Amino acid sequence: MDRRDTARRAELVRSVVAGVVRNPHAVITSDSLQRWLHVSRAVADRILTRLVSSGLIHEVGAGVWARTEG
């Protein structure tokens, strides 16, 4: 995926946010995100980083993230 494709990048993030919001009990790993979105590990890791920095998810175990309550 081309990092300059901002529309595609935004759509991927919206998809993840919607999935996390709809399923508050879901957990996410970099591997599961890669398979779900069909992206590279680097892209999955950048998405996770953005979601953590926005406060939407937090790490609940080594390499495992879940929705932040509240």
Residue 1 falls inside a structural domain:
no
Rounded to two decimals, the pTM is 0.79
Residue 53's alpha-carbon distances to 36, 38, 49, in angstroms, are 21, 23, 6
> Long-range CB contacts (< 8 A, 24+ apart) of 7-12?
12/37, 12/39, 12/43, 12/47
Task: Look at the chain and report how many structural domains it folds into.
Answer: 1
Kindly give the confidence (pLDDT) of every residue in the chain, 70 residues in length, as a single tens digit, with 9 standing for 90 and above.
556 788 887 888 788 888 887 887 889 999 999 998 888 999 899 889 988 998 989 999 999 999 998 7
CATH number at residue 36: 1.10.10.10
